Amino acid sequence: MSVLNIVLIEPQIPQNTGNIARTCAATGARLHLVGPLGFEITDAKLKRAGLDYWRLLDITTYESTPEFFSRNPRGEFYYFTTKARRTYTDIAYPDDAYLVFGREDAGLPEELLRANPDRCVRLPMIAGARSLNLSNTVAVAAYETLRQWGFPALQNHGKLTKYDWDAVPL
């Protein structure tokens, strides 16, 4: 089964990471937190943003970027950055893809981007906009990848609480 990996390198804002954790929990994506972090995992703001989804989360932490790459040597990495020349929809994401995101205030290191130009992607924005919120960017990227994969293992229909959908004409 395909597994989506969301990688946050040095995240600084606990609320963003909490929101991303909730997205990962709801989609079955694995969350990789690469330090140093700008907060403690026990931070109340982080836990509040993730609500009661922590029990559904597959999370791994790393002390540093070199440790992350050494523990995941076979990954297919895609680097999300405002500096990329390609858009995120230009990519056909493979099974077990790693979507990598940088710090909210600085993004990913340019050395990493320069070494992987064909794996750098961006979300289009109007001129003059610096960037989208990190948690929004992760959600867009995750759902595009999952859409390409046909939303494996995700529930693709909802249920009304007071009515039966089958009784409602389309």
- Percentage of the chain surpassing pLDDT 70? 94
- Does 102 belong to an annotated binding site? yes
- Does 128 belong to an annotated binding site? no
pLDDT digits (tens, 9 = 90+) for 71-97: 999 999 999 999 999 999 999 999 999
Quote the pLDDT of residue 143.
Answer: 97
Question: Domain spans of the chain?
Answer: 5-167
108-111, long-range: CB < 8 A, 24+ apart:
108/9, 108/79, 108/80, 108/81, 109/65, 110/83
- Percentage of the chain surpassing pLDDT 90? 70
Q: Using 50, 70 and 90 to split pLDDT, how confident is the model at 137?
A: very high
Quote the pLDDT of residue 40.
Answer: 80
- Domain 5-167 is of which CATH architecture? 3-Layer(aba) Sandwich (3.40)
Q: Using 50, 70 and 90 to split pLDDT, how confident is the model at 54?
A: confident
pLDDT at 29 over 80: yes
Q: To which H or E segment does residue 68 belong?
A: helix 65-71
pLDDT digits (tens, 9 = 90+) for 37-52: 988 877 565 555 555 6
Say which DSSP state 93 is in. Answer: P
Q: pTM of the predicted model, to two decimals?
A: 0.91
Average pLDDT of the residues of the chain: 91
Q: To which H or E segment does residue 120 belong?
A: strand 120-122
Burial of 45 (0-12, 13-18, 19+ CB in 10 A): middle
Quote the pLDDT of residue 162.
Answer: 85
Quote the pLDDT of residue 6.
Answer: 98
Q: Using 50, 70 and 90 to split pLDDT, how confident is the model at 170?
A: confident
pLDDT at 114 over 90: yes
Interatomic CA distance for residues 82 and 29, integer angstroms: 23
- Does 99 belong to an annotated binding site? no
